[in-house]
A and B are shown apart, each in its own frame.
Chain A
């Protein structure tokens, strides 16, 4: 099974409230990634886990948290949502080796009001 699952598919949040997005894969992949995608923009890497080690991009370091309680699951946490967080959030996984393809979930569309 090469499916990456994301829950929920759609999320409505109020400004200032927390948001937690979930991703899972059963391919035993070492690496799981979170990207943010806004309309007419490139998917942008937010952070990734290689095994149990979290790596966050410098410009989003303080805005997003994540946890990976086991190899299959990875969450993306926003402590206090702002309007600018409205976007599609894409989860992906791969073996993490150079050139390996990434497998993507269908995304979670977050709307912050």
Chain B
């Protein structure tokens, strides 16, 4: 059984700050890890994913995430946030050969204050 844990329900930062949103997972097989963003009133949108290779993956709008097998983590980072980054961020796991079904964390609401 896959589990995805996002320990911070809410994170508040100021515009221009860096931010890290944490994600830990539990799964023993081959998996894909991904992040999705949901702006208020809109559907979830894909940000980035990791399967293998370089543990740091780049996404859209300056986001990146780093995979750590030893920590079972896939944290999302941005060096300098903008007010438009305010949204809910979901970490997700999908396993090989399972029709790309996603198992999500409960989300982290990021608020960027001016």
Contacts and interface: CB of A to CB of B under 8 A. Distances in A.
Interface of A: 4, 31, 33, 35, 40-45, 48, 50, 55, 90, 92, 94-107
B-side binding surface: helix, strand, loop or mixed?
A: loop
Given A31-B100, A42-B104, 12 more contacts: A4-B43, A42-B103, A44-B104, A48-B101, A90-B44, A92-B43, A96-B100, A98-B94, A98-B97, A101-B34, A101-B46, A102-B44
Interface residues of B, number: 26
A42 B45 contact: no
Given A40-B106, A43-B90, A101-B49, A90 B43 contact: yes
A48 B90 contact: no
Interface in B66-114: 90, 94, 96-97, 99-107
Interface of B: 4, 9, 32, 34, 36, 41-46, 49, 51, 90, 94, 96-97, 99-107
B43 A42 contact: no
B64 to A, nearest CB: 17
B99 A96 contact: yes
8 contacts: A43-B90, A43-B102, A45-B103, A92-B44, A98-B100, A99-B94, A102-B102, A106-B42
